[in-house]
Amino acid sequence: MAKLPESIPEIVAEFGPHLHTVPSGGWIRNSHEEKMVKTHCCFCGQQCGIQLRVSDNKVVGFEPWEDFPFNRGKLCPKGVKRYMQDEHPDRLKTPLQRVEGRGFEPIGWEPAMERIVAEIRRIQAANGKDAFAILTGASLTNEKAYLMGKFARVAMQTANIDYNGRLCMVSAGAASKKVFGVDRSANPWSDIPKAKVILIAGANVAECAPITTDYLWQARENGAKLIVIDPRMTPIARNADLFIPVRPGGDIGIFNGMLHVMIERGWIDRQFIAEHTTGFDAVEEAVRKYTPDYAAKIAGVPAEMIVKAAAMWGPAPTSFLLHARGIEHHSKGVDNCLAAINLVVASGRIGREGCGYAMITGQGNGQGAREQGQKCDQLPGSRDISNPEHRKFIADIWGVPEESIPGKGLSAVPLVEAIHDGRIKGLISICFNPTVSLPDANFVREALSKLEFYVNIDFFLSETARYADIVLPGSLMEEDEGTTTNVEGRVILHRKVVSPPGEAREDWKIICDLAARLGQPDKFNYASPKDIFEELRRASKGSTSDYSGMTWQRIDDNNGIFWPCPDEAHPGTPRLYEGGKFGHPDGKAHFMPVEWRPSAEMPDAEYPIFLTTGRVVSQFLSGTQTRRIGSLIEQYSQPVCEIHPRLAEKLGIADEDFVKVESRRGNVVVRAKLVKTIRPDTVFVPYHWPLDRSANNCTIRAIDPVSNIPEFKVAAVRISKVDQPTDPIAMLEVQAGGVR
Ligand SMILES: Nc1nc2c(c(=O)[nH]1)N[C@H]1C(S)=C(S)[C@@H](COP(=O)(O)OP(=O)(O)OC[C@H]3O[C@@H](n4cnc5c(=O)[nH]c(N)nc54)[C@H](O)[C@@H]3O)O[C@H]1N2
Ligand SMILES: Nc1nc2c(c(=O)[nH]1)N[C@H]1C(S)=C(S)[C@@H](COP(=O)(O)OP(=O)(O)OC[C@H]3O[C@@H](n4cnc5c(=O)[nH]c(N)nc54)[C@H](O)[C@@H]3O)O[C@H]1N2
Ligand code: SF4
Ligand SMILES: [Mo]
């Protein structure tokens, strides 16, 4: 037995502040002693500040963190309940191995890691290095995202690494890079309340970026007008001065039509365009035919709405344009974003107080995790893996020959297709739940079942983990430390609040251990995530997303620092493009002309209805985390199909009926929810559920040619009433009288 402390100094050293005296005069550890740790929410890209209440290495609750400037204590339902994951009985606490016929059985770390290394070696020796792929995620910290990119290229030497931001941020990122030369929201959120007109396209702000709503209310109080473009009248749209119920895939009609009117009426800033941009002539030419009538046909809305939007946006003194996945999740996602950005640049209202542009990032580290080199075509510091100079720079940081760094690999959807057709035989995934999140889920499940060997790293057993040979128990955000970069481009610090339970380990330790076993102990010899950050700083030096002047201490002292931050005396850059200086070598913004084209699959006689998919406030992404938290389930327990009463009547469907939503690829059976807030040619199903309840059974594997984002927002479906739900879980729901 360990020696017990005897003297008071020894006791204090051992137990610290968790002490109180007892009547006998001794000291005991006060198990109810609590501490409060300032950190951030693990969920969306807002990355709200929050204080977690900790007792005995357990997170037992939370308190607002009023001083954190982004959310000033406010939180949404997910942030409020996130702490309930920590002590959840489903937490993975030991590595698991799938045993044929018996399911998963616990296995020690040593045999698990040995088996993984042996399988990586076997598969790569037999089929080439690229036959073993890696899928990662944008909920990972910057340090872990950086580590994953290096792990793929240095330890595994596979080209095939991509991440779930491919399903999320890449259209917006590609468009911003094309026009501005930089991939980041251009403004801090504090510019929003100063804008006199705000245009929101394809963003369900109230449910998906709840704290941003507060900034919009402030703008409203300052007299701002609000324009919302969405096929559904979302909660924020109900407060808009102008709501444009666009037909899914029709946004280019609105944006080009608005620009057409703005040019005609002289509501563009010719001087700004001449001094700070290139390519406007081609855009002017392209939008010439987008008269309000022509544009209205594309957008599926009255022409007057487009004229009205132009009249609100065009002559405004200040303005802010925000968009999210509603315009990005398309096989023309990049073009949609370009057309939106053209409105901003043509007005000259960017790079000034109250004049801005932002894509609302999705995952917790949606911004940072797309900069650190875990994308198939990217090296750290948003560098290009095909650019010889960039390769050399990173090869030197990593201490490897440039030739040893693989070239561009496959992006997420083609990567899964390569698994399906047998080119890729092994997979490690971390922080990604593809069976729920990728389009055409039946195809994805088929693909995963063909893998020769699959390792899944998660803190819960996700639906995808069921296909794994080995599952490794990783860490929740609060069980590790590191930085993320929020929706504004503000780099913030997540503190380690508790340690992982049981035998679960911090993700970064798992990866470094694997790298060492694969023969690279020296290159992954980090003492802590802070060590990784120090290398990341150097790797980002001189790039557009320059973190080199940041230290964890500075980040902590300043409630975050905005990149670029090129040296330790630099305050960071909340607002980009001030003085009309853009990120391209010529310092100008590059206009890109855009032409509308139809979505990959348009409704026809057989499948006559648009299906669009997205989110609800109480569930998060593939739901692995939020479908385990009781009160969030109660708020929205099952997916439903939002359908307009007129369409429902035509199809003989009543509220709460079970309906089969069916595309050429699969179907989902859910209850109908009759709402007047959706276009009558469109239905909406949220995607947070797996298997028979997965909206992605119906979606299409079409991707944008530039960004490779899937077309989650448009598929053609038919809808029919079904008497008996075929889904066993739905049947349970019926038996329980609608409540589970
Ligand atoms: N509660 C909650 N919040 C989240 C998340 C979550 O899962 N749950 N996820 C986070 C992540 S990763 C992301 S990416 C963001 C996503 O945030 P959002 O993009 O705001 O959410 P979505 O529901 O995917 O889609 C937004 C809107 O696009 C509309 N839409 C569909 N098709 C079109 C179209 O063709 N044109 C236009 N203009 N609009 C269209 C939909 O009706 C929907 O209201 O949310 C983040 N925040
Ligand atoms: N139909 C349709 N499909 C969509 C969308 C849509 O709008 N419609 N939206 C798309 C978008 S925008 C996104 S972002 C994707 C998201 O797609 P996914 O990446 O599949 O979503 P997550 O639920 O975040 O999956 C991450 C998994 O990693 C785990 N995880 C989270 N954090 C960590 C961590 O720090 N470490 C480890 N080891 N594991 C972690 C979670 O438990 C979860 O099982 O879905 C996309 N799919
Ligand atoms: S808005 Fe996003 S970051 Fe803030 S509490 Fe909600 S989920 Fe968390
Ligand atoms: Mo996302």
| Tens digit of each residue's pLDDT (9 = 90 or more) over 512-556 | 999 999 999 999 999 999 999 999 999 999 999 999 999 999 999
Q: What is the CA radius of gyration of the chain?
A: 26
Domain end residue (candidates: 45, 64, 85):
85
Lowest mean pLDDT among 5-9, 409-413, 496-500, 602-606: 5-9
Here the CATH number for the domain that contains residue 320 is 3.40.228.10
Q: What pLDDT shows up at residue 83?
A: 87
Distance 273 CA to ligand 1 centre (A): 32
Determine which residue's CA is closest to atom 22 belonging to ligand 1: 614
Q: How far apart are CA 699 and CA 667, in angstroms?
A: 9
Is the CB–ligand 2 distance for residue 433 below 6 Å? yes
Q: Is the pLDDT of residue 143 over 50?
A: yes
For the CA of 209, the closest atom of ligand 3 is: 1
Q: Looking at this protein, which amino acid is placed at residue 632?
A: L
Determine which residue's CA is closest to atom 6 belonging to ligand 1: 620
Pocket mutation for ligand 2, best pick of 44, 135, 433 (most atoms within 8 Å of C-beta): 433
Pocket mutation for ligand 3, best pick of 40, 47, 48 (most atoms within 8 Å of C-beta): 48
Contact call for residues 4 and 459 (beta carbons, < 8 A): no
Q: What pLDDT shows up at residue 22?
A: 47
Distance 168 CA to ligand 1 centre (A): 10
- Secondary structure (3-state) at 118: helix
State the sign of the Cα–Cα–Cα–Cα dihedral 40, 43, 48, 54: negative
Q: Is the pLDDT of residue 33 over 90?
A: no
Q: What pLDDT shows up at residue 190?
A: 98
Q: Per the omega criterion (within 30 degrees of 0), is the bond before 292 cis?
A: no
- Residues 369 and 351 both lie in one domain: no
Kindly state the average pLDDT of the residues 390-407: 98
Answer whether residue 429 is part of any domain: yes
Contact call for residues 371 and 489 (beta carbons, < 8 A): no
- Secondary structure (3-state) at 14: helix
Answer whether residue 125 is part of any domain: yes
Determine which residue's CA is closest to atom 3 belonging to ligand 3: 47
Alpha helices in 32-157 (DSSP H): 77-81, 109-127, 142-150
Distance 167 CA to ligand 2 centre (A): 9
Is the CB–ligand 2 distance for residue 362 below 6 Å? yes
**What phi and psi values does residue 65 have, to the nearest 5 degrees?**
-115, 90
Of the candidates 274, 284, 357, the one whose C-alpha atom is nearest the C-alpha of residue 319 is 357
Digit-coded pLDDT (tens) for 694-736: 999 999 999 999 999 999 999 999 999 998 665 565 555 544 4
Beta strands in 511-645, from DSSP E residues, in sequence order: 561-562, 589-590, 609-614, 640-643
State the sign of the Cα–Cα–Cα–Cα dihedral 579, 584, 590, 592: negative
For the CA of 364, the closest atom of ligand 3 is: 3
Which distant-in-sequence residues (6+ apart) come within 8 Å of 605 by Cβ?
none
Q: What pLDDT shows up at residue 739?
A: 35
For the CA of 366, the closest atom of ligand 2 is: 14
Answer whether residue 603 is part of any domain: no
Digit-coded pLDDT (tens) for 78-135: 999 988 888 899 999 999 999 999 999 999 999 999 999 999 999 999 999 999 999 9
Give the residue, 9 or 340, on which the prediction is more confident: 340
Lowest mean pLDDT among 120-134, 268-282, 336-350, 615-629: 615-629
Q: What pLDDT shows up at residue 723?
A: 84
Distance 715 CA to ligand 2 centre (A): 21
Q: Is 237 exposed, middle or buried (0-12, 13-18, 19+ CB in 10 A)?
A: buried
Pocket mutation for ligand 3, best pick of 50, 76, 363 (most atoms within 8 Å of C-beta): 76
For the CA of 363, the closest atom of ligand 1 is: 12
- Residues 309 and 421 both lie in one domain: no
Here the CATH number for the domain that contains residue 484 is 3.40.50.740
Distance 78 CA to ligand 3 centre (A): 6
Kindly state the average pLDDT of the residues 602-629: 96
Dihedral over alpha carbons 189, 191, 193, 198 (to 10 degrees) = -90
Crossing angle (nearest 10°) for helices 280-287 and 333-347: 110
Q: Looking at this protein, which amino acid is placed at residue 505?
A: R
Number of domains in the chain: 4
- Residues 395 and 522 both lie in one domain: yes
Q: How far apart are CA 626 and CA 622, in angstroms?
A: 9
Kindly state the average pLDDT of the residues 570-588: 98
For the CA of 205, the closest atom of ligand 1 is: 20
Distance 287 CA to ligand 4 centre (A): 30
Exposure letters 636-645 (e unless 16+ CB within 10 A, then b): bbbbbbbbbe
Q: How far apart are CA 359 and CA 46, in angstroms?
A: 12
Pocket mutation for ligand 2, best pick of 621, 700, 704 (most atoms within 8 Å of C-beta): 621
Contact call for residues 143 and 536 (beta carbons, < 8 A): yes
Q: Is 701 exposed, middle or buried (0-12, 13-18, 19+ CB in 10 A)?
A: middle
Distance 688 CA to ligand 1 centre (A): 12
Q: How far apart are CA 563 and CA 570, in angstroms?
A: 10
Which distant-in-sequence residues (6+ apart) come within 8 Å of 107 by Cβ?
94, 95, 96, 97, 470
Answer whether residue 602 is part of any domain: no
pLDDT band per the 50, 70, 90 thresholds, residue 150? very high
> Which region holds residue 519: left if phi is over 0, alpha if psi is between -120 and 50, else beta?
left
Q: Which residues line ligand 3 (CB under 6 A)?
A: 41, 43-44, 46-48, 75-76, 78-79, 210-211
Here the CATH number for the domain that contains residue 670 is 2.40.40.20
Q: What is the DSSP string of 675-724?
A: -TTB-TTEEEEE----GGG-GGGT----B-TTT--B-TT-EEEEEEE-SS
Here the CATH number for the domain that contains residue 67 is 3.30.200.210
Pocket mutation for ligand 1, best pick of 252, 325, 602, 617 (most atoms within 8 Å of C-beta): 325
Answer whether residue 407 is part of any domain: yes
Q: How far apart are CA 674 and CA 80, in angstroms?
A: 30
Question: How many CB atoms lie under 10 A from the CB of residue 499?
Answer: 13
Q: How far apart are CA 653 and CA 156, in angstroms?
A: 53
Domain end residue (candidates: 575, 597, 630):
575
Bridge partners (DSSP) of residue 58 are: 55
- Residues 339 and 392 both lie in one domain: no
Determine which residue's CA is closest to atom 46 belonging to ligand 2: 437
Distance 230 CA to ligand 1 centre (A): 10
Q: What is the DSSP string of 588-605?
A: -EE---------SS---S
- Residues 617 and 682 both lie in one domain: yes
Q: What is the DSSP string of 297-312?
A: HHHTS-HHHHHHHHHH
User: Which structural domain range is residue 196 located in?
Assistant: 184-359
- Residues 220 and 148 both lie in one domain: no
Crossing angle (nearest 10°) for helices 142-150 and 529-540: 70
Q: What is the pTM of this model?
A: 0.94
- Residues 26 and 43 both lie in one domain: yes
- Residues 499 and 615 both lie in one domain: no
Determine which residue's CA is closest to atom 14 belonging to ligand 2: 168
- Secondary structure (3-state) at 640: strand
| Sheet of 482-485, strands arranged across | 482-485, 490-494, 561-562
Answer whether residue 11 is part of any domain: no
Which distant-in-sequence residues (6+ apart) come within 8 Å of 119 by Cβ?
426, 452, 453, 469
- Residues 452 and 491 both lie in one domain: yes
Q: What pLDDT shows up at residue 32?
A: 60
Answer whether residue 117 is part of any domain: yes
Determine which residue's CA is closest to atom 4 belonging to ligand 2: 437
- Residues 649 and 682 both lie in one domain: yes
Could you tell me how far CA 111 lies from the centroid of its own chain? 34
Is the CB–ligand 2 distance for residue 136 below 6 Å? no
Distance 578 CA to ligand 4 centre (A): 29
- Residues 262 and 345 both lie in one domain: yes
Determine which residue's CA is closest to atom 29 belonging to ligand 1: 326
Is the CB–ligand 2 distance for residue 621 below 6 Å? yes
Distance 253 CA to ligand 1 centre (A): 20
Determine which residue's CA is closest to atom 4 belonging to ligand 3: 48
Distance, first Cα to last Cα, the chain: 48
Distance 533 CA to ligand 3 centre (A): 24
Q: How far apart are CA 8 and CA 242, in angstroms?
A: 70
Digit-coded pLDDT (tens) for 496-518: 999 999 999 999 999 999 999 99
Answer whether residue 591 is part of any domain: no
Which distant-in-sequence residues (6+ apart) come within 8 Å of 186 by Cβ?
180, 350, 351, 356, 357, 358, 575, 576, 577
DSSP letter (8 states) at residue 232: B
Q: What is the mean pLDDT of the chain?
A: 94
Determine which residue's CA is closest to atom 8 belonging to ligand 3: 79
Q: What pLDDT shows up at residue 87?
A: 86
Kindly state the average pLDDT of the residues 320-342: 98
